[in-house]
Amino acid sequence: MLEQEAVTARGIAEAMQAMSCRAVGIAAQDLAGGIDLLKEIQDKQKLNWLSMNLVDGTTNQTIFAPSVDTRIGSINITILGLTDERTDPGKDAGYTILPWQEVLPEVVANVDTRADMIILLSSYPDTINKEITRTVQGIDLILESAHGASNQPPRKVEDTLLARVGAQGKYVGMMRINWTDAGQWGQNFSEQIRAEQNRLDRITWQIGRMEKRDQEKDLKIDGRYQRLLVTKEKSVQKIKQLKETRAHATGEPCSFTNRFIGLKSSMPEDREIQAIIDQTTREVNRLNRKRIRNTNTQQHFSIDTLAGWQKCQECHPKQTAFWQTTDHSRSLKTLEQAEQQFNEDCLLCHVTLPYYDAARVKSEKLLLQLSQSLKNVGCESCHGPAAAHSRQPESIRLVNPDQKICTGCHTPDHDDNFIFADKIREVRCPRE
């Protein structure tokens, strides 16, 4: 993690504290600076980090609080934090993230008795949160951390409401919730009945078609036909049941309204927050100037340290075949299509280089020395220069790329939605 990211993290935490934020769920990207940075922020900025499944690597105890209880009016609310475990923290990180299945059901069962409402802050993507709603009962609201650029209005899945505000902090989401004694979101019975009726119509049609086509005695021993009859009966019962529940529904169900508020367009600047942002920006710029001065004096890598993907293919055909299915292998073609293949400002991130510092690449005229096999985002853009490894693979080892390598090219200017944990899955080479 760069020092500048730590500075940014502290700035964000300070701003959240100024906004009296009650709790923050820990997501994989929050861990980039290590546990100690989070602890420091918790102590200094008084930010409540929550995670029930982030545990100490040796003791298996949670490192931060799994939940926080709060009371609004007469309603007891418990807020839970859950961290996406599918990023490998590595052996030396000192912590482990347990999969949700091992932790969540028990935690929810324990708070269910004391809380009127349970809110889960989850950094898992939408598909897994949906699975959670189907497996774990008792969670009333899941607030997803942003895995996509777009806002996602609250939707009811099973008995849980799923909501998310898009990445980048362009919007805040505001929900007004009317939580009644029913303790459950209202059901839309008419919708459910209509869906079930459609299903029943389809089944009835299939049955009718089989009856027209086949002999009665054949149908008696036709497994598919018999199964359809059973399904039809179940569907009829379900509709009956839904209609009965609708007739007997009493009391006012819980309800909500939702709004996304565009920050640029509809909120005045807040002086206190603006001062925090300005201070953070100045500090980040200071660090960047220092970093640039340092890199200018760093060791020299020449283009000869690169072997090019065709060399790698000789010994790693499987990974090469995979790489050829990714857009990285076509990145020069992309520039050609935009007629920018000679533009040095564009080539920088669309080819394979020993390093990606624009000023140095230019001053050493590296872009004029590229062989055909380096004219794409190749193996060595991620694994580092590997000419030496290609000659002596057993003694000279390579690294697997971390987030820092990707964000050298996937900068906010060129990829405004880069989430390492998601994107790495699309480009990770297969194992031997």
Q: How many residues does this entry show for the chain?
A: 432
Looking at the Cβ atoms of 91 and 397, the one nearer to ligand HEC is: 397
Looking at the Cβ atoms of 48 and 326, the one nearer to ligand HEC is: 326
User: Nearest approach, Cβ of 422 to ligand HEC (angstroms)?
Assistant: 8
Phi, psi of 217 (to 5 degrees): -70, -30
Looking at the Cβ atoms of 88 and 278, the one nearer to ligand HEC is: 88
Q: Give contact residues for ligand HEC (rule: CB under 6 A).
A: 307, 309, 311-312, 314-316, 319-320, 323, 326-328, 330-331, 334-335, 338, 340, 343, 345-346, 348-350, 377-383, 386, 389-390, 393-394, 397-398, 400-401, 405-406, 408-411, 414-415, 423-424, 426-429, 431-432
User: Nearest approach, Cβ of 74 to ligand HEC (angstroms)?
Assistant: 48
Phi, psi of 116 (to 5 degrees): -80, -30
User: Nearest approach, Cβ of 284 to ligand HEC (angstroms)?
Assistant: 18
Looking at the Cβ atoms of 8 and 340, the one nearer to ligand HEC is: 340
Phi, psi of 161 (to 5 degrees): -100, 130
Looking at the Cβ atoms of 269 and 345, the one nearer to ligand HEC is: 345
37: CB partners within 8 A, 6+ apart: 1, 6, 9
From the list 346, 403, 399, the residue with the least C-alpha distance to 377 is 346
From the list 31, 150, 34, the residue with the least C-alpha distance to 81 is 31
Looking at the Cβ atoms of 170 and 330, the one nearer to ligand HEC is: 330
User: Nearest approach, Cβ of 377 to ligand HEC (angstroms)?
Assistant: 4
The answer to whether 333 touches 266, Cβ cutoff 8 Å, is: no
Looking at the Cβ atoms of 255 and 372, the one nearer to ligand HEC is: 372
Whole-angstrom distance, CA of residue 186 vs CA of residue 252: 8
Whole-angstrom distance, CA of residue 418 vs CA of residue 382: 16
User: Nearest approach, Cβ of 413 to ligand HEC (angstroms)?
Assistant: 7
Q: Which residues of 146-174 are buried (b: 16+ CB within 10 A; e: fewer)?
A: bbeeebbebeeeeebbbbbbbbeeebebe
Helices then strands, each counted (H, E), the chain: 18, 12
User: Nearest approach, Cβ of 191 to ligand HEC (angstroms)?
Assistant: 36
